[in-house]
Structure 1
Amino acid sequence: MTCSAFCELLYTVSVSFVTAGTCFLRAMCRLFLIEPVVALYTLPNMADELLMQQYIYRRIWTRETNSSYVGNETSSYCYQNHSDPVYMKQEVVQGLSSHFFMCMTLIQFLPNFIVSFILGSYSDQYGRRLTLLLPSIGALITSLSFLAMTYFSWPIYFLFIPIALSACFGGFATLFGGAFAYVADVSSSEHKNMRMALLDMIVGVMGGIGLITSGHLLNALNFNWLFLIASLINFANVMYIIFFLEESVQVSRNGQNKGSGCGKFREIFTGIINLYISSNFRNRVQLGLMLLAFSTYAFASFGSGGLFTLYELNAPLCWNAVLIGYGSATGLISFLTSFLGVTVFSRFLRDHFIVLIGILSFAGGMIMTIFAKTTLFMFLVRLVFLFAVMPLPVLRSMMSKLVSPQHQGVLFACVACLENLSATVSSIVFNTVYAATVQSFTGFSFLLGACLCLIPFCILCFFFWWKPQEESYTGLRTNESSS
């Protein structure tokens, strides 16, 4: 074989390999699987949040008590003697930690709110992938900043800078708003309940895996290694979105390039207005009440649920990192049971009944938490929350059926913004209330969460009186089929 023939053969083989690789990547890109994005986003970020809370708690403890925090697999550094001077410092650490977590949430609120609103509306015209990619990049920035914080032992207030920066990429609400809109694009009306409940179940399962292993990994390794692992998982998620996830909204090249930036923003806000104008009066009222019920329930669940770590670190429970991980993971089983509940109940019950069952499950769990003074009882409390996650996906599905397919992104942008607003305001309110009542009535915040459930409960009962017959979404389903 001559040299020229060998070169020609080598060139042909190289071109074949490149072509095959390109075809393989294109084939892999044609995946309409949003579930891996949600899973890879939830796994590291649930663990990151729990680990960072414990890290900040230990740093504040060291600063306030002038002693190192001591905790291992079998014990926790927790004082229960009320006459002990260190017990009073422990209560001060509880209050300071609560306020610090509140400030972290508040810093993220405004950027997340604006980005969620704009990206959700933008996705109706220009695709959903951006609403998934940017929050994943923000999560990568956050995990890398946590790694730098623990490795270099920077002052904890330095965290506010990278947290504010990552919030400009969107956050949890932005990604999940885009994920639910993606599901609405690729699912029929009959399967929206199940697909949206499936996403919530993935949050619970993957979050549970992260939480239940975080305590053991923290004892075996340290904060540095855990935040490094979280950064690698977030990087893998970014790569999946870029190279493997298919766009669910077909966007023409001309449509993408047409118009200036101001024109695109005008288009986005016009879509927001059309969301309400295009519906009839009955649907507008229903949509408004459902948004109120959704935001109120999210306010109660996010606010009171975010206090469990502080409540478990405090006396008389005095949990360590392993018990906190087990407790959080046990609580996240409710995502799995709620998915099974939605799947089964949807065959026999109207959506309103499913939401009511979930509200009663959550309120009962909150009331039982007030009386949880032992480890066994605290674990039993989680069993009452078995169906507490059902209201959120079912309400999303109900709202999705009330608007046209062209406004799904706008709708879930509004839902994401309300969810973000509820989570932020509830964090401020419940952390402030907890810090003010931790010495007098520790369980008052949980009682407040249970009482707030009366608002969505009454709204759902009103729907029975105002519209007793089955939801008449047939017109919308016809529009979806034709589109």
Structure 2
Amino acid sequence: MGDVSERSHLLDSIDSKNTRDKDQERITTRRIPCRYIPLEVINSLYFVSFAVCIPIQQFYIYDYIGNEYGIPHLSKGNTQDATTCSTSNGNSSRILNEIQKDASDQFLYLSLASNIPSAILIFFLGSLSDKLGRKYFLLAAIVGGALKQIVYVIVMYWNLSIGILYVGNALESLTGGMGATLMATFAIIADICPPGRQRAIRITLLEAIIAVVVGLALLGAAFWLHYSNYTIPTLVMLGLSVVNIFVCIIFIPETRQTRTESSQDGVTAQLTRCFTVYTRKIENRRWKLLLCLFCFFLASASTLAKSSVWTLFVLHQPFCWSQLHVNIFNAVQICLLWSSSIVFVKFLHHRLGDSGLILIGTTSGTIGMVILSLAEAGWWIYVSAVASLFLSVLIPMFRAAMSHLVSPEEQGAMFAGIGSVEMLSNGVGGLAFSLIYKATVDWFPGFVFLVIALLLTTVFILSTILLVKTRRSKAHSLETVSCPVERALHSPEA
């Protein structure tokens, strides 16, 4: 009888602990339900105005530099003046290569002005958002985008030097820019959604909705820019930013309920929390966060920072795409990539998990970049886009995976680190890719895409290591927990 009572007592203790854990999980879930907040509206308005300004900036600079070489409206591709690209004589090729190099330099400097200051600033904004709330920093980023667009309108309307565009990009970066918007947005999602599949789907769904809306906006902007000047579209984007400011003020609630003890933290402690969340010695967490962050850096550079060199690549010989062709292709590609990613994540996440989707995404992207690097005709570029169909799942899956590793009180600091790294990857990646493209455009313009394929291969290898070690640590943890129970149940004394 004593044996039975001891065994029953042990089993009751285990069941009691499991019940308490489940009850605690249910309480936590009720405390932060995945309720609806119109983040899709705010982010769609922000990223439409942000994304449409990218081709406006790129083609305005390309035409501005082309005009200095005596070739006006170079990016239009269908005017009597824009015949240099299709001309195969040596002098025309030399002029086009010089225009490509000068444009690459300008894209590089603007990228650094946009990304480096905000990459530094976001480190501090995230930890402050855990204390002060998310809404303030989301609103500040929208205001910064409006300030940049005001500068752009002034430069384009009065045909001022393109050097003044740096002022607009710097103003945007000093309010956090795109990184602060994403940091605040995903911290809000972490506030209102419990960890797991529900949060991963919400993150992916939000990014996919933004991408599809942006794709449709770029499709409309493609025709608009082709048959119009650059000033009016930029002015309309400024109007969207102003509307978004009022929408944010009125419809976005504050989701971060700050605690009394956190409000007593000193300023230094608040500002360093973004660093300590990644360096804190918690069992099996620090190395996972740092490895995920490094992979996120490489993935972000590979997917986002290549935009400017890709545009120059398809404007160059032998493709000679027009501005209209480039914008339509980008718009359709964005819509297809993110529409497929919604279906992909929704139906396969429960089977493959974050790591499985990351491995498929890196494989898809690597194949697409290799094909793009070897492209000799326009149809190769289309094949590359199809091969890269699942590349878009990389960034949301890394966000979701990292959000599962930290507590609710650390979400703002964690997403600030992600936002900072994202902006830094755009700056550093843009710098590296522009320099590589400028150095190789004369003999192998596609070489830069082989470098990107190598980066994605590195992400694949590191993600595989992360997956294997995580599974081993889980197996070891289960083994160490189950062995004492087995010994207690089957020992001679039991």
Letter in 1 for 2:360: I
Cα root mean square deviation, aligned: 2.4
Q: 1:231 aligns with which of 238, 250, 263?
A: 238
Query: Unaligned 5+ residue runs, structure 2?
Result: 1-34, 478-494
Rounded Cα–Cα distance in structure 1 between residues aligned with 2:430 and 2:187: 26
Between 1:357-366 and 1:70-79, the stretch displaced more is 70-79
Query: Unaligned 5+ residue runs, structure 1?
Result: 1-29, 475-483
Per-residue deviation, residues 333-382 of structure 1 (Å, max 9, x unmatched): 21221222111111221321110000011111111112323333322321
Per-residue deviation, residues 277-299 of structure 1 (Å, max 9, x unmatched): 66623111111111111112112
Q: Assess if the C-alpha contact under 8 Å between 2:86 and 2:317 holds in 1.
A: yes
After TM superposition, the structure 1 = structure 2 runs for residues 314-333 of structure 1, keeping only pairs within 5 Å, are 314-332=316-334, 333=336
Between 1:142-151 and 1:96-105, the stretch displaced more is 142-151
Q: Assess if the C-alpha contact under 8 Å between 1:43 and 1:209 holds in 2.
A: no
Q: Assess if the C-alpha contact under 8 Å between 1:186 and 1:248 holds in 2.
A: yes
Between 1:430-439 and 1:79-88, the stretch displaced more is 79-88
Per-residue deviation, residues 257-290 of structure 1 (Å, max 9, x unmatched): x77xxx7532413533552466623111111111
- Per the alignment, do residues 189 and 129 of structure 1 end up closer, same or farther by CA in structure 2, a change over 3 Å counting? same
Between 1:430-439 and 1:109-118, the stretch displaced more is 109-118
Rounded Cα–Cα distance in structure 2 between residues aligned with 1:354 and 1:471: 20
2:451 match: 448
Q: Assess if the C-alpha contact under 8 Å between 1:78 and 1:314 holds in 2.
A: no
Letter in 2 for 1:367: V
- Per the alignment, do residues 163 and 272 of structure 1 end up closer, same or farther by CA in structure 2, a change over 3 Å counting? closer
TM-score of the two chains, using structure 1 as the length reference: 0.85
1:269 match: 271
Deviation at 1:208, TM superposition (A): 0.7
1:68 match: 72
Tell me whether 1:289 sits opposite 2:296 in the alignment: no
Q: 1:117 aligns with which of 123, 126, 134?
A: 123
Rounded Cα–Cα distance in structure 2 between residues aligned with 1:329 and 1:77: 25
1:246 match: 253
- Per the alignment, do residues 282 and 363 of structure 1 end up closer, same or farther by CA in structure 2, a change over 3 Å counting? same
Deviation at 1:242, TM superposition (A): 1.1
After TM superposition, the structure 1 = structure 2 runs for residues 84-483 of structure 1, keeping only pairs within 5 Å, are 84-190=90-196, 191-251=198-258, 265-272=267-274, 274-276=276-278, 280-332=282-334, 333-468=336-471
Per-residue deviation, residues 439-466 of structure 1 (Å, max 9, x unmatched): 1001000000001112211112112331
Deviation at 1:157, TM superposition (A): 0.9
1:480 match: none
Letter in 2 for 1:216: F
3-state SS in 2 of match to 1:292: helix
Q: Assess if the C-alpha contact under 8 Å between 1:38 and 1:202 holds in 2.
A: no
Rounded Cα–Cα distance in structure 2 between residues aligned with 1:341 and 1:283: 28
3-state SS in 2 of match to 1:248: coil
Rounded Cα–Cα distance in structure 2 between residues aligned with 1:319 and 1:331: 16
Letter in 1 for 2:290: G
3-state SS in 1 of match to 2:471: coil
Rounded Cα–Cα distance in structure 1 between residues aligned with 2:159 and 2:276: 50
Between 1:354-363 and 1:105-114, the stretch displaced more is 105-114
Rounded Cα–Cα distance in structure 2 between residues aligned with 1:83 and 1:217: 32
Deviation at 1:125, TM superposition (A): 1.0
Letter in 2 for 1:317: F
Rounded Cα–Cα distance in structure 2 between residues aligned with 1:228 and 1:217: 13
Aligned identity (percent) is 25
3-state SS in 2 of match to 1:98: helix
Rounded Cα–Cα distance in structure 2 between residues aligned with 1:264 and 1:162: 33
Rounded Cα–Cα distance in structure 1 between residues aligned with 2:244 and 2:389: 29
- Per the alignment, do residues 60 and 343 of structure 1 end up closer, same or farther by CA in structure 2, a change over 3 Å counting? same
TM-score of the two chains, using structure 2 as the length reference: 0.84
Q: 1:52 aligns with which of 57, 78, 91?
A: 57
3-state SS in 2 of match to 1:389: helix
Aligned residues: 439
Between 1:137-146 and 1:70-79, the stretch displaced more is 70-79
- Per the alignment, do residues 465 and 215 of structure 1 end up closer, same or farther by CA in structure 2, a change over 3 Å counting? closer
Letter in 1 for 2:183: G
Letter in 2 for 1:312: V
Deviation at 1:81, TM superposition (A): 4.0
Deviation at 1:70, TM superposition (A): 4.8
Larger radius of gyration: 2
Deviation at 1:47, TM superposition (A): 0.9
Rounded Cα–Cα distance in structure 1 between residues aligned with 2:474 and 2:425: 27
Q: Assess if the C-alpha contact under 8 Å between 2:77 and 2:320 holds in 1.
A: no
3-state SS in 2 of match to 1:293: helix
Q: Assess if the C-alpha contact under 8 Å between 2:280 and 2:286 holds in 1.
A: no
Per-residue deviation, residues 281-322 of structure 1 (Å, max 9, x unmatched): 311111111111111211222333432111111111111121
Rounded Cα–Cα distance in structure 1 between residues aligned with 2:298 and 2:133: 30
Rounded Cα–Cα distance in structure 2 between residues aligned with 1:79 and 1:467: 52
Q: Assess if the C-alpha contact under 8 Å between 1:51 and 1:214 holds in 2.
A: no
